[in-house]
Amino acid sequence: MGATEGSGPAVSVVIVNYNGERYLPELLASLRGQTLSSHEALLVDNASADGSLALVQRDFPWVRALPRPENEGFSRAANRGAAEAQAPWIFFLNPDIRLDPHCLEEALAMGESDPAVAAVACKLRLYDQPGKLNGVGGAMNYLGYTWDRGMFEEDRGQYDGSREVLFASAGAALYRREPFLAAGAFDEAFFMYHEDVDYCWRCWLLGHRVVTAPAAVAYHHFGASTRESRSMAWRELLGERHNMRALLKNYQWRNLLRAGWGLLRLPQQPRRKLLQLRNFAWNLRRLPDTLRRRRRLQRARVRSDRQLEHLIVQSERVPISL
C-alpha cells in the first residue's frame, strides 16, 4: 500500500514484533485504514514463536516481512527496518497499538511543518481507558530517568498544543530518516528501552528539534508485552542501565559528573542499590565503546547543555511510578 504512481511512499511504517500475534490484526487493520495512503509497511519479526510471521504473510500480504534469526531486541530490529525503508520518514510502531485513522497524516503534517524537526511524538491514550493518556512526548530529569508527559491523566485537552519535548517514544512516533541514519540510528547496545531517549537527545545536540503532534492519536496496551514476558521492575532496571550509557555519551563533563554523583547517592533500598551497582558495572565493561561514541558526538554537537536545560527537569523527582 503506498505511494501514488511514479513516486515512493511518504512514510515507511516499521513495526518491531516479538510474539505480538494477538495484537497484530487490529494494528494492521488500523494501518490499512489510514487517511494517508502513501505509506509502506515493514514488519521486523524477532524470531516470534507464536505464529506472528505466518499470520502476516497469510492475511496481510501488503506488509513486507523481515524475519530475523533470533530475538535481537528493539534497537537492532528497528535499525534493520530503517535500513530497508524507502520513505523520507519512518514511523516506528510497537505491535500493541491501534492507530486513529488520521494518525499518520497528522504526524507527517507536523513533521513537514519545519525542516529542523527530526522526530514527532504522537498522543498515546491507554487502550483500556481511552479517556486517559499514556503520554504526549517524553520528559527526563537530570539523572536520566524518564516518563511520559501526562501519563495516567484524564485527557482534557491539556496537552493539545504542540510543543518541544526531549524525546518521542518509538512505540508510536515519526522519525525523519536522513538524520536518523546520519546520527547513527538507535544504539544497538540497548536491547530495549531508552534507545529513543538517547537518539532524540542526540538530535537536539546536533541541531534538530523534537515536537509533539497531539492530533496524531494512537491507543496503547500499556506494558502488555513487558508484563507477559518479564516485569515492570525488569523494565525499570534495563532503562536505568541504558540511561547511564546515554548520560556518558551525551552530557558535557560538568553535568555528567553531577548526574553520576547524584545516581550514586540516590536513596534506595539495599537490594535496589545493588542492582544499580550492577548497572554501573555493565557500563564499565562497555566504557571504551561508549567513550568512542562520546568523542564523536561531542565534536559534532552544536548545542550546549545549557541550551537544553528547558527540556531536562532539574530535579531528582520522577512524577510517574510504574
Give residue-wise pLDDT tens across range 259-299: 999 999 999 999 999 999 999 999 999 999 999 999 999 99
Query: Residue 89 above 80 pLDDT?
Result: yes
152 with 320: CB under 8 angstroms?
Answer: yes
Per-residue model confidence (pLDDT) at position 223:
66
Query: Residue 37 above 80 pLDDT?
Result: yes
Bridge partners, 15 (sequence order): 43, 93
What is the share, in percent, of the chain residues with pLDDT greater than 90? 92
DSSP 271-305: HHHHHHHHHHHHHHHTHHHHHHHHHHHHHH--S-T
20 with 48: CB under 8 angstroms?
Answer: yes
Neighbouring C-beta atoms of residue 230, cutoff 10 Å: 13
Measure the CA–CA gap between 245 and 269, rounded to whole angstroms. 23
Residue labelled with grid coordinates 523520507? 88
Cell numbers found for residue 118: 527530526
Measure the CA–CA gap between 232 and 224, rounded to whole angstroms. 10
> How do beta strands 97-99 and 209-220 pair?
antiparallel
Cell numbers found for residue 247: 548520560
245 with 290: CB under 8 angstroms?
Answer: yes
Q: Strand order in 312-313's β-sheet?
A: 146-148, 138-141, 312-313
200 with 168: CB under 8 angstroms?
Answer: yes
Q: Tell me the pLDDT band of 256, cut-offs 50, 70 and 90.
A: very high
- Give the rounded distance of the alpha carbon of 131 from its chain centre: 23
Cell numbers found for residue 291: 567513550
Question: Over the stretch 94-114, which tens digit does the pLDDT of each residue have?
Answer: 999 999 999 999 999 999 999
- Give the rounded distance of the alpha carbon of 16 from its chain centre: 11
> How do beta strands 172-176 and 89-93 pair?
antiparallel
87 with 29: CB under 8 angstroms?
Answer: no
Measure the CA–CA gap between 166 and 248, rounded to whole angstroms. 17
What is the share, in percent, of the chain residues with pLDDT greater than 70? 95
Q: Tell me the pLDDT band of 5, cut-offs 50, 70 and 90.
A: very low
